[in-house]
Amino acid sequence: MSVEEVRPLLAAFASLQPLPRPRLRLLEVPDADLSGRGPASTWELRLREEFLSRLGPPLLPLPESLESSRLAFALQRSPRYMGEGFREAAQELFNSPAFVLSVSLSIAVYFAAWLVPEPLFSKAFAAALTVRLSLLVGLVELSHLALACLSLYQEAEAASTPQELEAVAERFGKSMGGTTLRVLLVVASMGLARLVPQVPEGGIWSLLGPARITPEGQVILESVAAAQAVADGSLIITGVAAGTACGGLALCASNAAGEPSGGGAKLSTRYGKPHTRKNPPHNEAIEEELARREAAGHIDLRKNKAQVTAKRRGVEDPEPVKGIRFRKPDVSSVRPDGIRHNTNYVSNHQDLKRELEAFDSMMRADPRAIHELYLLDGTLVRRYVPPGVSFP
C-alpha cells in the first residue's frame, strides 16, 4: 500500500473534521488523562451516528469521547511498528483523527462481532461487507484480525500510563500486515460511505462493487440480508438479492426467485410496509435512512409514497417520461428548516438509467426540494440542492 493510494481517502476523511486548534497534551506525564471522559465533539457525534446506522450498535463499551481515548492514542502510535512496504501509508492514515475514530468504531461495532463463536451479521450492509471480505482474506484471517483488535481494545482500556499504551501500540502494530491494514481501511471507509467518496478501484476494493462471476462460474453476491460464520468454516448467507456464491466458503439459503428461504428474511416495517420482499437490503436502507432523519428532527417521514412538496401538496412532472407523471421517493421527509428532502436508491446497476430518469422527473416536479440518488453501498450518484439552501 502506497501513500499515493490512500491520499484521496485522506483528503475525504480530512473534510469530516474541523480545522485543528493548537493545544498542549502532556502525554509524557504518567497520569495523563486518556480515558475518553467528557462530552464528544459535534463532528465525532456525527461520525458515530453515521457509522452505527450502517453497521449496527456497538458490541463493546465506548468512552464518551473516542477522540481523546486510550484506544485512539494506541492506534495513532501503532504505525511506527508496522512492516516495511505499508508503514508510510499507515502513518499517513493514522495521523487523520477522522480515520482513527472510524477504525475505533470498526473495532467496537464490526470486528467485535467476530469474537462470538458463530458470529451473525444481521445488518444488511454488514452482512454484504462480510461476504466480500471473507472471499478475499478468508474467515480464519478475519477472525484473527478481530482477535488482534479485541486485544488492542482490552489492553488499551487497562493501560494506565503512556508507556503502557506505547507497548499496546507496539503489539498491535507488529500484528498488522498489508492485507489486514487494507481490511481495516475498507471497514472504516465503508462505515462512512455516505460521507466519504467510494474507495479506489482494484485490489481488495474490487470486491465491494457489483456482482461478478468467478472463474468457477459462481456469482459473487451483490447484496444479502444476513451472514453467519459457523464452526466448519462456512458462511451461511440469507436474503440473497443478486445471484449466489455457494459451495466452499458460502452456503446460500435462497430460492430461484431470489427470495430468502424459510419464509423470507425479517423486514423492518417501522416506517411502512416493505418496499419489496425480493430485495431486503433495499428495504433496510430505506428504514435506516428514515430512522437517521427522525433522529435529526425531520418530520413528515414518508416511505415509498407519492411525491409531495414540503407543504404536502401533490406534484407531477411537467415533462413526463413514458407517461409517468408521479414518482414515489424511497425516502422523503421535511428538514427542521422546512425543506423537503427526497432520496432514492439503486439496487441494480442495470437500472441506473431508469433511476436517473426518475431523479430528473422528481427534480422537475419539485425544484424547491433536495433530491438524492444513491447506490445501496452508500455511493452518491447524483444530488440536487436548490439555490440558497444549505446542505451539510
Instruction: Give the cell for residue 112.
Output: 467485535
Instruction: Give the cell for residue 106.
Output: 470498526
Report CA-CA distances (Å) from 9 to 17, 85, 92, 109: 13, 19, 11, 21
CA distance 164 to 159: 5
Query: DSSP assignment, residue 16?
Result: T
3-state secondary structure at position 382: strand
CA distance 3 to 13: 15
Arithmetic mean of pLDDT, 130-156: 83
Asked whether the beta carbons of 305 and 271 are under 8 A apart, the reply is no
CA angle at residue 119 from 117 to 125, to 5 degrees? 170
36 DSSP β-pair partners: none
| Mean pLDDT score across all residues of the chain | 76
Task: Report CA torsion sign: 351, 342, 378, 253.
Answer: negative
Q: All domains of the chain, ordered by start, with CATH?
A: 3-117+136-207 (no CATH), 210-265 (no CATH), 280-384 (3.40.1350)
Task: Report CA torsion sign: 150, 151, 155, 156.
Answer: negative
3-state secondary structure at position 75: helix
Residue 106 clears pLDDT 80, i.e. is over it: yes
Phi and psi (nearest 5°) for 35? -80, -10
CA angle at residue 87 from 82 to 88, to 5 degrees? 155
* For the chain, percent of residues with pLDDT exceeding 70: 72
Condensed to tens digits (0 to 9), the pLDDT of residues 194-235 reads 666 555 554 445 544 444 434 333 434 555 667 777 766 677
CA distance 91 to 2: 11
Phi and psi (nearest 5°) for 212? -145, 160
- In three-state form (DSSP H/G/I as H, E/B as E, the rest C), the secondary structure along 277-338 is CCCHHHHHHHHHHHHHHHHCCCEEEEECCCCECCCCCECCCCCCECCECCCCCCEEEECCCC
More confident call, 195 vs 314:
314
Element (H, E) at 250: strand 250-253
Lowest mean pLDDT among 141-145, 188-192, 316-320: 188-192
Find which of 52-56, 168-172, 175-179 is predicted with most confidence, using mean pLDDT: 168-172
More confident call, 206 vs 281:
281
CA distance 348 to 210: 8
CA distance 125 to 369: 28
For the chain, how many helices (H) and strands (E)? 11, 9
Query: DSSP assignment, residue 236?
Result: E
CA distance 155 to 165: 8
Query: DSSP assignment, residue 193?
Result: T
